[in-house]
Structure 1
Amino acid sequence: MGLIWLKHPVLWHSSRVPSGYDYSAMTDEQKQLIVTRWHDWYTADWDYGQTTLAFFCAVILASAILNTASRLCARSRMYGFCSLDRPYIPSNIHLPSSNQGKSIPGPADKFTAAFRYTAARQFHLHATRWYTPPLAAILGVSGMFIFIMALMLAIRPFYWPNEAMGHSPPIATRSGWISIAIMPFMIAFATKVNFVGILTGTSHEKLQVFHRWSAVFMYITSLVHTFPFIINDIMMGEMEVQYKTSPWYWTGVAALVPQTYLIALSWGIFRNPYYEIFKKLHFIASGIFMAALFIHVNFRLTSWDYFWATLVIYGLAWLSRVARTIYTTGFRAPRDRRVRRFKWAPGQHVFVRVLGLGVHALTSHPFTVSSVHTGGAENTAELVMRVHRGLTSALAQRVSGKVAWTSRVVVDGPYGGLHVPLKAYERVYLLAGGSGATFTLPLFADLAASMKANGAACQRVEFVVVVPDSDNYAWMEPTVTAAAAELPETAVGVRVHFTRVEDIKGSDPSVDVLRGRPVLGDIVREAHASASKVAIVACGPEGFLYDVRNAVADSQLVIADGFGSCKDLFFHTETYSW
């Protein structure tokens, strides 16, 4: 087959001047058909590639507008410009009868609640033990699928009725351009410094679902691009000749094989048990795929433009991470200088690479910063780690039996966090399952400090922790106790649920220590009934978040129906992994 070489001379774009047609063998209708829109091979990149591009850009723009409107409204609530309600007077947790005279949700509140319902609602497939993404993500992925399939299949014919009309079947041409136009967005959804996330106010890990499914859709369109050529050549008796003489066939195969590997082994059943190995092989296979595809398309029309766009998106994201990591962590900077440079907000996470752990220094892992940045010259970023496999297991073995152990680390971040100020809400409920407290604990401490300084509209915060036993609660107890002590009893409530312990006596009288798992739905309904503007933040295992999500979704429907006194129920979740 020889070596793979690009067509010479190498150009930025190939010519749009039609060539290779046998017009004498075509009817007048066929001559007209091959130059009409949606059928012309020489404008297929405009018809299908740019249409796909416009669809993704329009959806991202609409999401960005919604995000901007949400942030502006949240900011105006914070300063009291948006609120037309009567002032909320602190009372019991449960809705008092005097609250019945409050104003009911308006049209804007109902619309917001209906939208938030889709962001909260989740499904569980018991047979496979799979927790689906939120309904909003399902609808988004379904919309992508419907658009791509409609664009690919709506135009007829799929094959030319006359061989003289071209060697490339119409269905193969259009699916190829749709596939390559998906590529920049597939990469944009995957990066940690995520430009889509910056525009839409979404943390990078929550966009992974769109990265995975856009990759699946690109694979589907790649298959639809491939097989019509095979079918066409078999029907014309040219399959063996084309494969031996045309580089397009075997460069296409060289791209399709690693693409198949990437899709097949990216499902959770293969990815999760061996994530470190998966990640390294994923990058290698992606590089082979992109290189083979780059040669395969061979600067046809504007095909290479999508590669330049992909390179810019990924390159800028990678360079931003590297520059920020060097600035915050440094290589030879004094230790105190590195601390001053690194700043974070409550609830944000970082990727940590521990250089003193041998082979594990080649990997980085995400951890939530469980301490609060005070804004002073000295701050300590505390990371609470639960021992699993890989880095955390190696780190646990390294520090076992030692009073202290030091190692140089590389910190990439921070990422994530909340984009809405919790102190703008009258009541805030922070729900933590197990080590999910690493996310909610700094939020609790920061909110308590703001309330003490009279810098918050929040009048009561409830902190609910669910842990197996007192040993799992011990690491957070000093911070919880100190934060709760900042506020009067009417402004704070702490409940700790021990699920595997017989002795539930608590040393701190301000903390309610309870036995067994809480009914999370009851806590959410309690929050919904407690005030006009409520925020619920939850972090924990999948089952924990599933119960909270669906209880919040039910409450959003109540608001959308115009019932109750709660008009604004903000909800945010954080997961262990993605």
Structure 2
Amino acid sequence: MLWLKKPVLWHSSRVPSGYDYAKMTPGERLLIRERFHDWYSADWDYALTTVYLFCAVIGLVALVRWASIFRPRKTNAPAGIVDKLVAVGGFLVTKQFRLAAFNYDSPPLAAMGAVVGLFVFTMALMLAVKPYYWPNHEMGHSPPIATRSGWISIAIMPFMIAFATKINFIGLLARTSHERLQVFHRWSATIMYITSLVHTFPFIINNIDMGMMRAEWKTSSYYWTGVVALIPQTYLVACSWGYFRNGYYETFKKLHFVAAGLFMAALFVHCCFRLTSWDYFWATLALYGTAWITRLVRGLVTPGTATLEGLPDRTLLARVSTSRRFTWAPGQHVFVRFMLGPVHFATTHPFTVSNCHSAGGSLELIMRVRDGITQELYRRAAAGGAVRVFVDGPYGHATLARDLRAYDRVLFLAGGSGATFTLPLLVDLVTNGRAEATIEFVVAVRESGSLEWIDRQLRDLKGAEPPRVAITTYITRGTSVSEKDGDAPDVASRHEDEGRPDLAALIRNACSGAAARVAIIACGPDEFAYDVRRAVAAEQLRVACGEASAVEVYLHAENYSW
């Protein structure tokens, strides 16, 4: 391959070469062979140490998550030490902070702690060992701090990519859905970028000091390939922040893949099989390639036809007929590839499945019409057309519906089209849950017309033997409507003319029962989700402190965006 040293090898030699020991002091000769100073074992000292950290943390989280399945849940008993520890864990994964001036909601406290911990570990590993520059240029042209930061960067790379995949091996281990790991993808990429900068500038400083900068730039491919890799890496990190990603997502997504390809190719050449550097590329290729090929094959072997229907309040219903082999669980989502020309065929779009699976039934997707693909589909619906599609999935929490059946009280909170996530879970719980459980469903919509598709779902409850369900609908704009009698069994429904629900009060009321285990399922806009998280975190803290009447308060909050 052009620009690679010949012959191309799997690993470069570990035999020291190029040193003029006669120009070093005895102490300097010893220093370059010590652990954490030896250039020829830097990959073991720094890259493997970073890998061990990631593996240890992922393994610990997986152990805790899997152990939670088997922990005993005593009913009608006060909170014990295990319940209080669970409440502390729940508080950490629930609590968020808001920066109102920037309209920014932080990741949950546990995620921030993990990111800060990774950053502190990385900085300590990179900065704890001195010297940062060799006191004698004969000890090597690679400054120690540049060497170690480079290896840390390479070691982060496979995990950074693994956090981003839809078929997510880390998520399978940790029993979590892929979208919840996106925060770690972005922040590990940011930390990798910082270590890449620390890797770059010491070389520039060192070569200027030695008077070799121009010569090295002209004769060594390491320098210009490093810069070529750093440019798309800068773009990837800078444009992945919410302002650019959310405002121009379709453009961002396409350019993100292009820039990532350029970055990986340039970095591959830059590393040029130094020691074990290419092993990390093979690991990255194995993780990403397996996930990508699996998604592609699974998506292309699941064709279907989407029948489109326009609903009030610029909402669209797509009924997708697929193979009988395709099944899903309530609360899961799919990625749909619409056959609407080469631009849309090249991309997939995520949608929450808004109905429960039934033999021979269609997949129903409710979409809020915005720009791009949903606008085009809305025009097709007005013309009465159908669209060929390929469905990739399902993804998400396959066991969530089953897990909810263990709770005494379940409160569903939906903001607008967030009902697409909560309604199938409600229908499943009413149909399959315990008769003594208490269920409340609260939905806030902008206009009364938005209730049409929600009422369709509630009719699925007819004829079931459910526990009592209280359904409360808030209409934030327009006027209320009266629900037809008999739409759903054993349902108390109240419609509010105006205003928004007091989420904190609803959550406090749900958690007021003595010795009750409460689950709260929420989906809505960012502000809605933040208010829910804040209120639930307060209740979880009360459980941990022994001040609450409830024994357990569990939250599953789904966001509109990732």
TM over 0.5: yes
Please, which of 496, 499, 510 is the counterpart of residue 476 of structure 2?
499
1:439 and 1:386 mapped to 2: Cα distance? Answer: 13
1:178 and 1:477 mapped to 2: Cα distance? Answer: 54
Q: Is the 8 A contact 1:329 1:342 kept in 2?
A: no
Alignment partner, residue 527 of structure 2: 543
Please, which of 9, 12, 15 is the counterpart of residue 10 of structure 2?
12
1:543 and 1:408 mapped to 2: Cα distance? Answer: 36
Secondary structure of residue in 2 paired with 1:550? helix
1:363 shift after superposition:
2.2
Change (3 A) 1:208 1:337: closer
1:45 shift after superposition:
0.1
1:484 shift after superposition:
6.9
TM-score by length of 1: 0.90
Q: Is the 8 A contact 1:104 1:562 kept in 2?
A: no
Alignment partner, residue 62 of structure 1: 60
1:168 shift after superposition:
0.4
Q: Is the 8 A contact 1:425 1:457 kept in 2?
A: no
The residue type equivalent to 1:530 in the other structure is G
| Equivalenced residues, count | 540
1:418 and 1:339 mapped to 2: Cα distance? Answer: 19
Alignment partner, residue 412 of structure 1: 392
Please, which of 236, 244, 248 is the counterpart of residue 222 of structure 2?
248
The residue type equivalent to 2:520 in the other structure is I
Secondary structure of residue in 2 paired with 1:138? helix
Q: Is the 8 A contact 1:346 1:443 kept in 2?
A: yes
Instruction: Write the deviation string for residues 489-525 of structure 1: whole angstroms up to 9, x where unpaired.
Output: x621110111112345443473111232111001111
1:197 and 1:504 mapped to 2: Cα distance? Answer: 43
1:361 shift after superposition:
2.7
Instruction: Write the deviation string for residues 232-275 of structure 1: whole angstroms up to 9, x where unpaired.
Output: 01111111111111111111111111111111111111122211
Secondary structure of residue in 1 paired with 2:393? strand
1:357 shift after superposition:
5.2
Change (3 A) 1:552 1:458: farther
Alignment partner, residue 330 of structure 2: 346
Instruction: Write the deviation string for residues 18-70 of structure 1: whole angstroms up to 9, x where unpaired.
Output: 01111011111111110010000000000000000000011110111011011
Please, which of 253, 278, 297 is the counterpart of residue 279 of structure 1?
253
- 1:216-231 equivalences under 5 Å are 216-231=190-205
Among all aligned residue pairs of Structure 1 and Structure 2, give the percentage whose two residues are the same amino acid.
Answer: 56
The residue type equivalent to 1:251 in the other structure is T
The residue type equivalent to 2:74 in the other structure is L
Change (3 A) 1:540 1:226: same
The residue type equivalent to 1:39 in the other structure is H
Alignment partner, residue 449 of structure 2: 471
Instruction: Write the deviation string for residues 384-430 of structure 1: whole angstroms up to 9, x where unpaired.
Output: 01101110011111221x3x321210111111135341011111111
The residue type equivalent to 2:503 in the other structure is L
State yes or no: 1:530 paired with 2:513: yes
Q: Is the 8 A contact 2:14 2:40 kept in 1?
A: yes
- The structure with the greater share of residues assigned to strand is 2
Deviates more, 1:266-275 or 1:176-185: 266-275
Alignment partner, residue 567 of structure 1: 551
Change (3 A) 1:484 1:135: farther
Alignment partner, residue 429 of structure 2: 447
Change (3 A) 1:336 1:185: closer
Larger relative contact order (CA 8 Å, sep ≥ 6) = 1
1:349 shift after superposition:
0.4
Change (3 A) 1:83 1:182: closer
Alignment partner, residue 99 of structure 1: none
Q: Is the 8 A contact 2:96 2:106 kept in 1?
A: yes
Q: Is the 8 A contact 1:113 1:568 kept in 2?
A: yes
1:122 and 1:419 mapped to 2: Cα distance? Answer: 25
1:64 and 1:465 mapped to 2: Cα distance? Answer: 34
Q: Is the 8 A contact 1:428 1:458 kept in 2?
A: no
- 1:414-433 equivalences under 5 Å are 414-417=394-397, 419-420=399-400, 421-433=403-415
- 1:203-218 equivalences under 5 Å are 203-218=177-192
Q: Is the 8 A contact 2:78 2:551 kept in 1?
A: yes
1:550 and 1:272 mapped to 2: Cα distance? Answer: 23
1:362 shift after superposition:
2.6
Alignment partner, residue 95 of structure 1: none
State yes or no: 1:200 paired with 2:182: no
Q: Is the 8 A contact 1:114 1:557 kept in 2?
A: yes
Instruction: Write the deviation string for residues 72-121 of structure 1: whole angstroms up to 9, x where unpaired.
Output: 23xxxxxxxx34333xxxxxxxxxxxxxxxx4211111111001101111
Q: Is the 8 A contact 2:337 2:390 kept in 1?
A: yes
1:134 shift after superposition:
1.1
Moved runs in structure 1, 4+ residues, more than 6 A?
A: none
2:253 and 2:75 mapped to 1: Cα distance? Answer: 51
Please, which of 70, 85, 89 is the counterpart of residue 111 of structure 1?
85
The residue type equivalent to 2:50 in the other structure is T
Secondary structure of residue in 2 paired with 1:577? coil
State yes or no: 1:521 paired with 2:499: no
Alignment partner, residue 393 of structure 1: 375
Q: Is the 8 A contact 2:304 2:389 kept in 1?
A: no
The residue type equivalent to 1:523 in the other structure is L
1:479 shift after superposition:
1.8
Deviates more, 1:506-515 or 1:298-307: 506-515
1:347 and 1:458 mapped to 2: Cα distance? Answer: 23
2:92 and 2:462 mapped to 1: Cα distance? Answer: 34
Alignment partner, residue 362 of structure 2: 380
Secondary structure of residue in 2 paired with 1:293? helix
Q: For structure 2, which runs of at least 5 residues remain unmatched after alignment? A: 306-318, 486-490
Secondary structure of residue in 2 paired with 1:547? helix
- 1:354-373 equivalences under 5 Å are 354-356=338-340, 359-373=343-357
1:4 shift after superposition:
4.5
1:338 shift after superposition:
3.8
1:552 and 1:485 mapped to 2: Cα distance? Answer: 34
Secondary structure of residue in 2 paired with 1:466? strand
Deviates more, 1:277-286 or 1:318-327: 318-327
Q: For structure 1, which runs of at least 5 residues remain unmatched after alignment? A: 74-81, 87-102
> Over aligned residues, Cα RMSD in angstroms?
1.9
Alignment partner, residue 155 of structure 2: 181
TM-score by length of 2: 0.93
2:179 and 2:441 mapped to 1: Cα distance? Answer: 25
Alignment partner, residue 84 of structure 1: 74
1:481 shift after superposition:
4.4
